[in-house]
Amino acid sequence: MLVKRAPYGCPRSPEDAMTTADHRPDLFALSDIHGPVLRPDDPGYADEVTGFNLAARHTPDLVVGATGADDVVAAMRWAHATGTPVAVQATGHGANFPIDNGLLINTARMTDVRIDPRERTATIAAGAKWRHVLEAGSPHGLAGLSGSSTDGGAVGYTLGGGLPVLGRAYGYAADYVRSFEVVTADGTPRETNAEHEPDLFWALRGGKGNVGVVTSMVTELLPLSRILGGAIYCPGEHAEPLLRAWTDWTHTVPNEMCSAFTLLRLPPLPEIPEPLRGGFWARVAIAWTGDTAEGERLVAPMRQAAPVTVDTVAEMDYTSMDDIYADPHDPLPARECCTLLRDLTPEAIRTYLEHAGPAAPPDYPLLIVELRHMGGKLARPAAVEDAICARDAEYVLASVAVVPDSRIATAAETATSALHSAMSPYGTGLTMVNLHGRPGDTLDRARAWTPEVYDHLRHTKQTYDPANLLRFGHTVPPAAS
């Protein structure tokens, strides 16, 4: 255990453990935590608070580097006793909101993954990445429903519903969770599933981090070892015929065909391979779980819709899923946003291309403007009701900008608002929690759920976090008591 120093010059005697002369809490009650407990002026603080999205610069009053569930319990009990607001971070991929006070619990050290081959389940600790889960399951021919990057945290992704690459074929990641171990705002460790505290279980599947700090989850795995996957890249000037062909094609393919159309403006960085480096591209990403020969037959129209420069679609090991979308591996400052769409009408396609297509200015700041095909098993109701509200969307529009400085950040904000506002007439009125981007006011945050689910979530929040300690990020206020 690291030696802790009392913050703000506080005494360390037990009788003075919880208050100081200026009424700020001491760390004496955290002295049994096995991980580091750091203040802003302590060595290692900056590394402890920095996540993947560098645009969210966290400056909490205190950070706890949890090594296990006991550390989380101690931290939450201290926060409850002192009225300190709490945020949680594992990898920081979803860090769209800066934490400027309170306590940050970093779960990145909690990476244990245990596979039960007979039950086809994985017990996944709070800080484990999907990469850890796939590596653990691969020797058994089992896989979890990861997103476009296996560098993301499995638990945080699942709390937001979890939109898998293979979502059309299997549904949301949250649909496969059997149970959670969670520490609620009063510091009480609980286990919840469909039978035990079902309202808590409901809120943790699609309600994000509103009702507690998950320390581990048990989720079902699928007997998957190989798929057909990759991407077809065409020069950006051919975006219109490729997009129209892809849209028509999505109306015909079976659920096992999962795909996305993306406009990419790639920077001239050495880690991006030639000939893609520094170019403007239209891409169709493919993931198919059926017979390889049948998948190749289904993909053929996409290869004929526009001139192809790069084609990576091939049979691959499931652990190579990152190769499909080729998301960045290194931390960067990003601004993301999403809109759920009812359909891609000719007018919607025209609007999309007017904003992000070949006619956009050369300095258009959105790196990625993507249309993911939804439907299939994503439209299927969960066997056990949850808080996911994206099941009626046919497509999701997601955009990402890299914002290294304030000038580009301003341009990206303008372009993001213009694109999503223009596409809103074709939308469902909702977003997805994990892709929503920077949460705004209460009305903005509510767009991740229907009014009925939002109201239910607020009442569940009132039960488990009435003081609203878990109020950073994409959270909702508790219902009035």
Which pLDDT belongs to residue 26? 60
Domain 226-435 belongs to what topology?
A: Vanillyl-alcohol Oxidase; Chain A, domain 3 (3.40.462)
- Paired tokens of 23: 């009424």
Instruction: For strands 86-89 and 103-106, give the pairing.
Output: parallel
CA distance 278 to 291: 35
pLDDT at 441 exceeding the cut of 80: yes
Buried/exposed 315-340: b ≥16 CB within 10 Å, e otherwise: ebebbebbebbbebeebebbbbbbbb
Buried/exposed 170-204: b ≥16 CB within 10 Å, e otherwise: bbbbbbbbebbbbbbbbbebeebeeeebeebbbbb
> In whole angstroms, how far apart are CA 63 and each of 38, 42, 106, 472?
5, 10, 7, 14
> In whole angstroms, how far apart are CA 124 and each of 111, 112, 129, 143, 145?
7, 6, 9, 13, 13
Amino acid in position 230: G
Domain 113-223 belongs to what topology?
A: 3.30.465
Provide CB contacts within 8 A for 124, sequence distance 6+: 112, 113, 132, 133, 144, 154, 155, 216, 217, 218, 219
**CATH number of 7-106: 3.90.1150.10, 3.30.43.10, 3.60.9.10, 2.40.50.1070?**
3.30.43.10
Averaged confidence pLDDT in the chain: 93
Every domain of the chain with CATH number 3.40.462.20 lies at 226-435
Which pLDDT belongs to residue 24? 43
pLDDT at 442 exceeding the cut of 90: no
pLDDT at 14 exceeding the cut of 70: no
**Per-residue pLDDT tens digits for 243-290:** 999 999 999 999 999 999 999 999 999 989 999 999 999 999 999 999
Which pLDDT belongs to residue 329? 87
Banded pLDDT at 20 (limits 50, 70, 90) = very low
Residues 31, 88 contacting (CB under 8 angstroms): no
Every domain of the chain with CATH number 3.30.465.10 lies at 113-223
Which DSSP string corresponds to 257-294?
A: EEEEEEEEE----TTSPTTTTT-EEEEEEEEE-S-HHH
Amino acid in position 228: L
Provide CB contacts within 8 A for 251, sequence distance 6+: none
Partners of 87 in the beta sheet?
104
Which pLDDT belongs to residue 27? 65
Which pLDDT belongs to residue 9? 24
Banded pLDDT at 48 (limits 50, 70, 90) = very high
Residues 50, 331 contacting (CB under 8 angstroms): yes
> 410 or 96: whose pLDDT is higher?
410
Buried/exposed 253-290: b ≥16 CB within 10 Å, e otherwise: bebbbbbbbbbbbbeeeeebeeeeeebbbbbbbbbbbe
Every domain of the chain with CATH number 3.30.43.10 lies at 7-106
Which pLDDT belongs to residue 137? 98
- Paired tokens of 177: 């969770």
Which pLDDT belongs to residue 50? 96
> In whole angstroms, how far apart are CA 119 and each of 70, 115, 224, 226, 417?
27, 9, 15, 20, 46
Amino acid in position 101: N
Q: In what order do the strands lie in the sheet with 103-106?
A: 37-38, 62-65, 103-106, 86-89
Instruction: For strands 62-65 and 86-89, give the pairing.
Output: unpaired
Provide mean pLDDT across the span 208-232. Answer: 97
Q: What is the pTM of this model?
A: 0.93
